[in-house]
Amino acid sequence: MIENPIKRRPTRKIKVGSVYVGGDAPISIQSMTNTETCDVDATVAQIQRCVDVGADIMRVSVPSMEAAEAFGEIRKRVQVPLVADIHFDYKIALRVADLGADCLRINPGNIGSEAKIREVVAAAKHNDISMRIGVNAGSLEKDIQKKYGEPTGQALLESAMRHIDILDRLNFHEFKVSVKASNVFLTMDAYRLLSAQIDNPLHLGVTEAGVYRTGSVKSAIALGGLLMEGIGDTMRISLAAEPEEEIKIGFDILKSLGLRSNGINFIACPSCSRQEFNVIKVMQTLEERLEDVRVPMDVSVIGCKVNGPGEAKEADIGVVGASPRSLVYRNGEKSHLIDTNQLVDEIEAMVRQRVSDIEDAKAKEIIRTSFSE
């Protein structure tokens, strides 16, 4: 087994509700609702769909006082930590802080007078909630735009540091920072510069990354590159797609880097004329059917014996395609043969059995430790 070479940059640990961000906390995945916040039922349903696929944190935009009251209702109906996204109106920040927001996404430099900033910071301290400073290449301050001529890593850094300095001056340190751009190189440059300046946790993202496929690739390159350098404590994949898809892509990136496990890590061959079954169809069906599985496991499904045994030996469950029966490996050992026409059902049954065995073992361990105390 190759040792994971990624060494995470040490950052201070902050809290977003029940989820820690930074330090040795797992890199969290978040997304943002795209429903009308005032439509409480729709927003709660969307948050729940994201939680079902593993969302650690959800962000909800709060553009008005009416939305702030709706935010309070949403807060009562979901367990997942909620970030309230506020842009300028400090009164909205004060209201959602009282209504149970776990984090305020607001830039102190945009709030206005020092007195207003102090009030927001006091509310965050009083309610024990964190903040996120979010700088975007598309909305840099006019004087910074003029100074740099175009968005650059230094420009994003300078903008972020203005907001950071305000919070530092007010002795408030429970915040994370993002410096997002839609360009891969600019995003990476800005985060690298920022990570060298501060020890607050960094919220990674490529903003306006694009539609599902290209946006996912762009995000995987930029965020994957930063994560490999140890940069990043929480992340959002910004796609023109439903938020639950963002969560899934986020986990796929972390799974690929061995930074988090969530559900099945499928290993499948691309297939070719040697395939003994329709690999693409089988994998698509399996992925859909097993989307609810949260227990981490490696499942290898390979079209023929050319690469099948090698991959199967490294997986928790491995299948080597053959006709009419395929060979199953469990925990790296040859186990039994299954009907190749029934591959999907057979693999699903094995995965669900493994989940049940792992959960039984966990329950037994809990009983054993409770009674031995």
Annotated binding site for [4Fe-4S] cluster: 269, 272, 304, 311
Q: Is 169 in the site for ligand SF4 (CB under 6 A)?
A: no
**Long-range contact list for 105-109, CB < 8 A, 24+ apart?**
105/59, 105/131, 105/132, 105/134, 106/131, 106/132, 107/133, 107/134, 107/135, 107/163, 108/133, 108/163, 108/166, 108/167, 109/141, 109/162, 109/163, 109/166
Q: Which stretch binds ligand SF4 (CB under 6 A): 121-129, 174-182, 272-280, 361-369?
A: 272-280
Q: Is 281 in the site for ligand SF4 (CB under 6 A)?
A: no
Q: Is 272 in the site for ligand SF4 (CB under 6 A)?
A: yes
Q: How many CB atoms lie within 10 A of CB 102?
A: 23
In contact, 199 and 173? CB cutoff 8 Å: no
Q: Which of 5, 149, 270, 324 binds ligand SF4 (CB under 6 A)?
A: 270
* Residue 326 main-chain phi, psi, to 5 deg: -100, 155
Binding residue count for ligand SF4, defined by CB under 6 A = 11
Measured from the CB atom, the residue of 270 and 324 that comes closer to ligand SF4 is 270
Contacts of 297 (CB under 8 A, 6+ apart): 264, 265, 316, 317, 351, 354, 355
Please, what is the minimum distance in Å from the beta carbon of residue 321 to ligand SF4? 7
Q: Which of 35, 275, 300, 326 binds ligand SF4 (CB under 6 A)?
A: 275
∠ at Cα 102 (29, 26), nearest 5°? 30
Provide the token pair at 275: 């395939």
User: Which residue positions form the known binding site?
Assistant: 269, 272, 304, 311
Please, what is the minimum distance in Å from the beta carbon of residue 305 to ligand SF4? 7
Please, what is the minimum distance in Å from the beta carbon of residue 280 to ligand SF4? 11
Measured from the CB atom, the residue of 80 and 328 that comes closer to ligand SF4 is 328
In contact, 369 and 362? CB cutoff 8 Å: no
| CA gyration radius, the chain | 23
Please, what is the minimum distance in Å from the beta carbon of residue 345 to ligand SF4? 21
Residues 304-333 that bind ligand SF4 (CB under 6 A): 304, 306-307
Please, what is the minimum distance in Å from the beta carbon of residue 274 to ligand SF4? 4
**Binding interface with ligand SF4 (CB under 6 A):** 269-272, 274-275, 302-304, 306-307
